[in-house]
Amino acid sequence: MNWINTSVNDYYNWLREKIFIQKDDSTDWFLINTPFIGAFNDTIEIYAQKSGNHLKLSDNGETMSNLELQGLQIQGSKRRRDLLDSILLNYGIRTVK
């Protein structure tokens, strides 16, 4: 094994140790608490739910809320909304209201 494989394996092991997963039995959503730090120096949490062959991921609105707290108003501008929708479409993501 070369140095890059060792480094990647070390990173994966570190990530597995640092991620905390908790299931909400009443909703079948899983909380995935990551070691990554967000804009306000808090950890990034992702929520996941599987329904049939579909996987839903959510941040419970944190990203949009944080953008607004930092002064970027998406909802008030059609151009910004169109730009955001275009970026999300490139990744196969859509917002749900």
Using one digit for the tens of pLDDT, what is the confidence trace for 5-27?
999 999 999 999 999 999 999 99
Beta bridge mates, 47:
31, 58
Both 4 and 49 in one domain: the answer is yes
Nearest to 45 by CA among 18, 74, 11: 18
Assigned token pair, 87:
């970026």
pLDDT band at 1 (very low <50, low <70, confident <90, very high): confident
Residues 6 or more apart in contact with residue 79 via CB below 8 angstroms = none
pLDDT band at 2 (very low <50, low <70, confident <90, very high): very high
* Alpha-carbon distances of 30 from 24, 86, 90, 95, rounded to whole Å: 6, 28, 26, 19
For residue 9, give its domain range: 1-60
Both 38 and 1 in one domain: the answer is yes
Write down the pTM of the prediction: 0.79
Using one digit for the tens of pLDDT, what is the confidence trace for 65-94?
998 999 988 888 899 989 999 999 999 887
pLDDT at position 34 is 96
What average pLDDT does range 40-61 have in this prediction?
Answer: 93
Both 6 and 41 in one domain: the answer is yes
User: What is the total count of domains within the chain?
Assistant: 2
What average pLDDT does range 34-38 have in this prediction?
Answer: 95
Both 44 and 19 in one domain: the answer is yes
Both 10 and 50 in one domain: the answer is yes
Assigned token pair, 94:
């859509």
